[in-house]
Amino acid sequence: MGLALFALSATSDAARAEVRLPALFSDHMVLQRGKPIPVWGRADPGERVTVRLGEQVRRRVAGADGRWQVTLAPLRAGGPYTLEVSGKAGGRRLTDVLVGEVWLLSGQSNMAWPVGRAAGPGEAIAAARGLPRLRLYQPRRRQHGGGQKGGAGAWQVCGAATVQPFSALGFFSASACTRRSGCPWG
């Protein structure tokens, strides 16, 4: 009796597994304009995954290792869009997704110097109020370790209440470009 209940429970849990996405895919994300858009994740092996963004729909069957990837056609700058990724047991619905320019800041520790500790943070905080199409994805830092598989983090919308942890270099550069081009930046 106990074995039968355990087997039923294990089957039931497996049937409820949802499609999984890396942390990079979250509400408020920015996708690169003018380039093919890869979307990837994990699901149960053999599971059919559907990805929707705007008018585009792509389907893929997860491999034996549970991995899947689709590539969406390039889009012009704009949004907001909703990105939906679904499988047999539900999925994820990401909102307020923009398409624009995506920059990667990397280097020495000064690249991460936050707006809140920069000279004149009050001016930056005031300027941030008018830049909701500027976004930041900041992965969680790891100390003294190798790479971070899968990562952790979330996209933040630029605003007076959220700008202080933004990279000062990134914020001042991207805010100037955003104002000049009108294009979303992340």
Q: Which residues of 11-42 are buried (b: 16+ CB within 10 A; e: fewer)?
A: eeeeeebbbebeeebbbbbbbbbeeebebbbb
Q: What is the pLDDT of residues 84-141, one digit of tens each?
A: 999 998 899 999 999 999 998 887 878 888 999 988 888 888 888 889 999 998 887 6
What is the spatial distance between Cα 90 and Cα 156, in angstroms, rounded to a whole number?
Answer: 25
- On the question of pLDDT at 145 being above 60, the answer is no
Q: For the chain, which domains are there?
A: 19-97 (2.20.130), 109-181 (no CATH)
pLDDT bin (cut points 50, 70, 90) of residue 10 is very low
Q: What is the pTM of this model?
A: 0.83
How high is the pLDDT of residue 106?
Answer: 81
In 3D, which of 1, 51, 59, 4 has the Cα closest to residue 31?
51
